[in-house]
């Protein structure tokens, strides 16, 4: 891979015998594309989407399980926002359940795509790396420490500086190496918040802090915190050519970087043009790769429309009152 950011459309073929039987989510995708000739003729994309939606259905076997998860996710985000507002002494706002939930739904779809195809390996043209159960466990623990440091006795890191998907490999004996992270964005544009996340002191900094915390643990301290497999002698590293993927909907136009960026929210024009430089691959400290997922905005909207009313209803019944 070059240092320049690259827009990558995922095109891996799925063998015919591996195609999963149709599922409810894929049936929604089919319906959306009933008059889409390009989609109808793209058998490889259809097969890929079948695999992705089947993988998602493994985690959420029923409509109700997906609704419950997304409603509870919105509730958790609202509570985090209220706590953050109290800590920073500003008035909390009522979050839009539909906005939060559709973003999380897309993240789960991309996560399923990554589980099946290993996005990082795919865009770099290398074979998918199978992971042992121990490695998967250590990845989960690492993300939990990054996301919820207080659970493990560490001070909290600002919750908006957390990556959506980590790409971790085993490297040299017992050490783990973080080679990339991905941010999943379902919107039409990348905003000032995305800019802040991609800056060197954004998500990268949160990761560095977490690595320093884990790598400094003595064995007995690691065990006490429930972090066996981490600490002195089992250090985890961030690779020198660490990459930051930004995964977008399939039909996003990534050719015009200025059009891709939402202009409002930046403190000054210099920030806008620095963000543009990142997306073009010309930023020295923030390597960014734009990736298109296998799900379009129309497909995402259709899937979400089939469950949004129940998500919002359940969320309203359980969400905290904002004073």
104 and 25 inside one domain: yes
73 and 195 assigned to the same domain: no
Asked if 283 and 208 sit in the same domain, the reply is yes
- Which ranges of the chain have pLDDT less than 70? 1-22, 158-161, 169-174, 320-323
**Does one domain contain both 310 and 268?**
no
115/191 same-domain check: no
User: In this structure, are residues 152 and 225 in contact, taking their beta carbons and an 8 Å threshold?
Assistant: yes
Q: What pLDDT is attached to residue 46? A: 98
**What is the count of structural domains for the chain?**
2
pTM of the model: 0.85
Shared-domain flag, residues 151 and 9: no
Domain residues for 239?
A: 131-292
Per-residue confidence (pLDDT) for residue 89, from 0 to 100: 82
Instruction: Say whether both 49 and 108 belong to one domain.
Output: yes
Same domain? For 109 and 41 the reply is yes
- Verify that 107 and 137 share a domain, yes or no: no
Same domain flag for 140 and 208: yes
Please list, in sequence order, all residues whose beta carbon lies within 8 angstroms of the beta carbon of residue 61, skipping any fewer than 6 positions away: none
Q: Where are the alpha helices (DSSP H) in the chain?
A: 24-32, 37-41, 43-59, 63-88, 97-117, 119-123, 133-147, 192-198, 203-215, 219-224, 257-260, 269-279, 297-305, 308-318
């Amino acid at each position: 891979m070059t240092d320049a950011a690259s827009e990558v459309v995922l095109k891996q073929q799925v063998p015919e015998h591996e195609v999963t039987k149709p599922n409810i989510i894929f049936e929604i995708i089919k319906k959306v594309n009933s008059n889409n000739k390009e989609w109808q003729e793209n058998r490889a994309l259809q097969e890929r989407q079948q695999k992705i939606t089947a993988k998602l259905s493994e985690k959420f076997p029923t409509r109700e399980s997906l609704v419950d998860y997304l409603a509870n996710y919105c509730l958790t985000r609202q509570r985090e926002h209220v706590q953050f507002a109290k800590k920073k002494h500003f008035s909390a706002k009522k979050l839009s359940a539909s906005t939060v939930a559709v973003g999380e739904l897309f993240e789960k779809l991309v996560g399923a795509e990554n589980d099946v195809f290993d996005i990082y390996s795919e865009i770099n043209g290398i074979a998918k790396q199978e992971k042992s159960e121990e490695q998967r466990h250590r990845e989960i623990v690492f993300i939990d420490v990054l996301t919820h440091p207080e659970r493990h006795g560490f001070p909290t890191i600002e919750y908006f500086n957390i990556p959506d998907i980590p790409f971790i490999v085993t490297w040299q004996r017992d050490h783990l190496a973080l080679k990339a992270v991905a941010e999943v964005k379902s919107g039409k544009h990348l905003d000032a918040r995305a800019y802040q996340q991609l800056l060197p002191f954004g998500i990268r900094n949160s990761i560095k802090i977490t690595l320093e915390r884990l790598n400094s643990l003595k064995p007995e301290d690691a065990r006490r915190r429930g972090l066996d497999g981490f600490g002195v002698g089992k250090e985890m590293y961030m690779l020198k050519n660490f990459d930051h993927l930004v995964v977008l909907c399939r039909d996003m136009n990534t050719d015009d970087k200025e059009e891709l960026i939402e202009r409002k929210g930046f403190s000054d024009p210099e920030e806008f043009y620095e963000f543009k430089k990142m997306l073009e691959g010309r930023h020295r400290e923030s390597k960014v790769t734009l990736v298109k997922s296998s799900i379009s905005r129309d497909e995402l909207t259709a899937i979400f429309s089939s469950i949004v009313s129940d998500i919002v209803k359940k969320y309203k019944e359980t969400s905290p009152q904002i004073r």
